[in-house]
Amino acid sequence: MIITEILEKNHQQYGDEISLIEVNPEAREKDMSVWKEYDLVESGMEDRYRRQMTWAEFDQKANRFANALKARGIGKGKKVAILLMNCLEWLPIYFGILKTGAVVVPMNFRYASDEIEYCLGLAQCDSIVFGPEFIQRVEAIWDHVSKDLICAYFVGKEDVPFAINYEKETQNYPDTAVPLTVTEEDDAAIYFSSGTTGFPKAILHSHKGLLSTCYTENAHHGQTHDDVFLCIPPLYHTGAKMHWFGSFLVGGKAILLRGVRPQWIIDTASKEQATIVWLLVPWAQDILDAIDAGKINLEDYKLDQWRLMHIGAQPVPQHLIKRWHTIFPNQQYDTNYGLSESLGPGCVHLGVENISKVGAIGIPGYRWEAKIVDNNGEDVKQGDVGELVVKGPGVMRCYYRDPEATAACLKGDWLYTGDMAMQDEDGFIYLVDRKKDVIITGGENLYPVQIEDFLRTDEDIRDVAVIGLPDPRLGEIAAAIIELREGAECSEEDINEYCKGLPRYKRPRKIIFANVPRNATGKIEKPLLRKRYNAEALVAKQTK
């Protein structure tokens, strides 16, 4: 069985039911500022901000695109990139590519032109599907990449001279499935790493891996056909889509929300009756802050149906979940650990029944194994810090066209994650830090996540990142980049006083008040911070 067969099954069983809904509150607000004298609902304009499709339409659109691709020579052995913002077309395009037997290659919508060109070349893409937000970026590299592409599709109302209009083209092809000879062992998708060490690596996965995530996610969160999944993170990333796969398996409805403002999330969860919402830490914090500030009055919304809130992509502060449960005491909570090399979340998860262990990333997920090892690959003693390694059905095949990088992190069936972790007496795993983020100061290992977790308990601090900066005497020192909550007044002296709650060697030696940059999946962009503040330290040294 391959994952496209689930879509066909949903078409047969639930054809007339809604599969996907796109909600675009940002467009609504912009239009309302211009057309505020009109009642948008009565004028019919509301359709511009909320679109939907049935399971039958989902499958038929995927089939039409598959037939269009096949007519242009795209099939097994070819690769098709997707460069789109979240939209109603995204998933039918994704499944349409898979239905041809080609490899689907989702791309980060934050990529600049040079990154787009690099990733197209690295993955050896034969086609690209892009949206209106990317016209200039694709056009800037078109002369370089067009020679390697069979075709390009544009998803939008206008026509782009160098691309085929997706909507017009697909209307000319049948909505029936194309003949397909693909097995679970065939290549299915290439996802890109976060690129935290330079340009991203291409991560190759099989159809078997994609299918396994459906069962893992459903086993963890028990999605039923009646659940409504609110999807907010970008679909190019494994985190959002693989969580949705648990609902997809049972034909559950999904909402694609374009925007992350707290009011939009709560309003959409209420109006669309979402039962499952996956959040990033900053979004959860923003929701709680908006409630505390009176910007969101929960009595104005219907949220009793919301049964599960789960968070992934980064360590979750214990105090955040305690604060969340004071406001939403009846919701279940889970956190999920994963990486693109393991097809996103699920290789380790807390489990809704283990709320007493908040702070841990959890235990091995459904059909997964995990252990913590030293530099020689030997198991460490319980309670000691080592590298987390995992084994399971979602482990990547390889870094595409990069055997050296593959050999560094794939050892037998085990995937070396690069995350430092420890395990408690009950078998629950706690992240300590990324291996490359460990700070060595005066011979002592400092784990930035531990310092960050402590600082986040200060109610004046909205976000924090701890990085290592060079020091002539100690080798490195810990520097804390601190983003304060709106209206908070806090000095460097206040932070230093608060840090007396830490052992002396763990206290940050430098305090910097600034915004903490995070990527689209919520991870702190520490390489950017190290580059920025290392450069500033060098300039300061040279000007002395």
pLDDT bin (cut points 50, 70, 90) of residue 327 is very high
Query: For the residues 400-417, what does the mean pLDDT come to?
Result: 95
**Mean local confidence (pLDDT), 518-526:** 76
Do 350 and 335 meet the contact criterion of CB atoms below 8 Å apart?
yes
For residues 307 and 276, the answer to whether their CB atoms sit within 8 Å is yes
Q: What's the rounded Cα separation, in Å, for the pair 517 and 496?
A: 23
Q: Assign 86 to helix, strand or coil.
A: coil
**CATH value at residue 162:** 3.40.50.12780
Res 520: pLDDT:
67
pLDDT by residue (tens digit) across 11-20? 999 999 999 9
Angle between helices 90-99 and 4-14 (to 10 degrees): 120
Q: Is 266 helix (H, G, I), strand (E, B) or coil?
A: helix
pTM for the structure as a whole: 0.84
Q: What pLDDT is stored for residue 30 in this prediction?
A: 72
In whole numbers, what is the pLDDT of the chain averaged over residues? 89
> Which range in 59-73, 424-438, 455-469, 499-513 is most confidently predicted, on average pLDDT?
59-73
Output the pLDDT for position 198: 59
pLDDT, tens only, 160-181: 999 999 999 999 999 999 998 8
pLDDT at 312: 72
Domain at 357, CATH number: 2.30.38.10
How is residue 515 written in tokens? 């915004």
343 is a domain residue: yes
Domain with residue 489: its CATH number is 3.30.300.30
Per the domain annotation, does 280 fall within a domain?
no
- Please check whether residues 430 and 483 belong to one and the same domain: no
Point out the domain boundary residue: 434, 466, 493: 434
What pLDDT is recorded for position 56?
Answer: 98
The reply to whether 243 and 170 lie within a common domain is yes
Domain boundaries, position 146: 4-259
**Would you place residue 206 in the very low, low, confident or very high pLDDT band (cuts 50, 70, 90)?**
very high
**Residue 40, helix vs strand vs coil:** coil
User: Do 464 and 499 contact (CB within 8 A), yes or no?
Assistant: no
Residues 105 and 69 both lie in one domain: yes
- Does 359 map to a domain? yes
CB 413 within 8 A of CB 391: yes
Does the pLDDT of residue 45 top 60, yes or no?
A: no
| Calpha distance 354→38 (Å, rounded) | 50
The average pLDDT across 328-342 equals: 92
At residue 249, the pLDDT reads 98
The predicted-structure confidence for 211-249, as pLDDT tens digits, reads as follows: 999 999 999 999 999 999 999 989 998 877 899 999 999
Are 404 and 478 in a shared domain?
Answer: no
Residues 412 and 448 in one domain: no
Instruction: Enter the tokens of residue 500.
Output: 């007396």
C-alpha torsion 374→526→118→67, nearest 10:
80
Residue 461 backbone dihedrals phi, psi, to 5 degrees: -100, 125
Whether residue 472 has pLDDT greater than 80? no
Distance CA 146, CA 127 (A): 9
| Cα gap 146→327, rounded to integer Å | 53
Q: For residue 120, count other CB atoms closer than 10 A to its CB.
A: 25
Closest CA to 234 of 376, 20, 90, 444: 90
Shared domain for 204 and 109, answered yes or no, is: yes
Residue 299 lies in a domain: no
Tens digits of residue pLDDT in 444-468 = 678 788 888 889 888 889 899 999 8
Residues 154, 86: one domain? yes
Residue that terminates a domain, selected from 413, 434, 455: 434
* Contact indicator for 393, 367 with CB cutoff of 8 Å: yes
Residue that finishes a domain, picked among 379, 413, 434: 434
pLDDT score, position 7: 98
Mean pLDDT of 16-26: 94
Residue 303 lies in a domain: no
Residues 252 and 312 both lie in one domain: no
Instruction: Say if 271 falls within a structural domain.
Output: no
Over residues 251-289, the pLDDT tens digits come to 999 999 999 999 999 999 999 999 999 988 878 988 999
Instruction: Say if CB 257 and CB 232 are below 8 A apart.
Output: yes
Grouping H, G, I as helix, E, B as strand and the rest as coil, residue 480 is strand
99 & 237 share domain: yes
Q: Are residues 470 and 504 located together in one domain of the fold?
A: yes
Whether the predicted pLDDT of 541 surpasses 60? no
The single residue listed with the structure tokens 């590519």 is 97
pLDDT in tens, 336-386: 888 899 997 789 999 999 988 988 999 999 999 999 999 999 999 999 999
Model pLDDT for residues 116-145, shown as the tens digit of each residue: 999 999 999 999 999 999 999 999 999 999
197 band by pLDDT with thresholds 50, 70 and 90: very low
**Are 249 and 148 in the same domain?**
yes
Question: Bridge-partner residues for 107, per DSSP?
Answer: none
Q: What is the mean pLDDT of residues 515-525?
A: 79
Please give the structure tokens belonging to residue 31. Answer: 């239009």
Residues 33-51 have a mean pLDDT of 50
Asked if residue 155 and residue 9 are part of one domain, the reply reads yes
CA distance 244 to 213: 10
What residues contact residue 381 under an 8 Å CB cut-off, 6+ apart? none
pLDDT above 70 coverage of the chain, percent: 92
Residue position matching structure tokens 């909505």: 175
Task: Please give the Cα distance from 252 to 209 (Å, whole number).
Answer: 21
Residue 392 lies in a domain: yes
Domain count, the chain: 3
265 within some domain: no
Confidence of residue 35 (pLDDT cuts 50, 70, 90): very low
